[in-house]
Amino acid sequence: MSLDGVFIGEPKLIMVGGKGGVGKTTCASAIAYEAAKRRKRVLVISSDPTPSLSDIFEIDIGSSEKRIAEDVELFGLEISSDIIIKMWKERFGPEIYEVISSFAKVEYDFVDYIGTAPGIEEEYMLHFILELVEASRYDIVVWDTAPAGHTLKLLKLPQLFLKHMEAATRFYMNLYSYFEKIKDAVRLKESKRSLLEIIASWEKLAEKIVSFIRDPAKTRYVIVTIPEALGVALTERIIKEFEENGLFVNYIVVNNVIKEADCEFHRRRKNMQEGYISALRKKYPLCDIVELPLFPEEVKGLKRIDKIRGELFTYGD
């Protein structure tokens, strides 16, 4: 079994998620490298609170798009929470302030308050990625997502997105009847139209993002786990919540699998792992489940990433 199917149909976004510490970044890096080897222009992004792309590729990547390999078009980007919020404020701040200042005298700093709402980072990351895709700057974006708890917030879109945006317009919602009584009908009509158009644009954007992440032709999901109780339990939870929200996982990578047991300790661990892997295969017969062996060395540098790539994909070079 391999992950070759993930590229069928030429998707635009490959999301790699799972429990923290299971090897998401390693797998995301190998998937991105494979895509680049297939002559695609690829960007691998990490939004993990503690990004490790730089460590794995052994190159200082940081918050600016940087080329990772010379033989292929592979680029990397690590985006911190501060940068995401900053970009979000630049995009939505003026509109939010325009709405609020129509009803109350507030300082522009109020936008900072709205920016603290849970889920804003994930929402804006999808907006940012969608812009990259639509601009055709990259053929494929591979997203090394934050740990599962953060990623699951994405499933609340567009409801969560609109909730955050409309938090800034609660004065409008609460005072709507009051404005109907304003004598200046012309100003009333213009204010209502302007504000409703802004809110409608937010809703349209939210729906566009949701359509993008729910389109199996454009977005693929790869869940990385380990053959242990907590890892498998969280994987089942992620897949269930995805399915409940119209998203479907077709690819699972089981990392750190012991292939050869040369002592009693490893034999017992191997038996335990086989039980969890068998359970996953039985529960998700339609998923491509790839076992990634436990390696004795750290995965750092393109040479070792290439080795992981060889385990995940079948290729002829």
Helices 170-180 and 159-167: angle between axes, nearest 10 degrees: 60
| Active-site residue (options: 4, 48, 82, 112) | 48
| First-residue to last-residue Cα distance in the chain | 18
Q: How many CB atoms lie within 10 A of CB 124?
A: 24
Nearest of 90, 165, 96, 162 to residue 128 by alpha carbon? 90
Whole-angstrom CA distances from 238 to 167, 197, 304 are: 28, 35, 29
Give the separation between CA 194 and CA 207, rounded to whole angstroms: 20
Is 109 marked active-site? no
| Sign of the dihedral defined by the CA atoms of residues 22, 28, 29, 35, in that order | positive
Give the separation between CA 282 and CA 287, rounded to whole angstroms: 10
Give the separation between CA 19 and CA 150, rounded to whole angstroms: 10
Residues noted as catalytic:
48
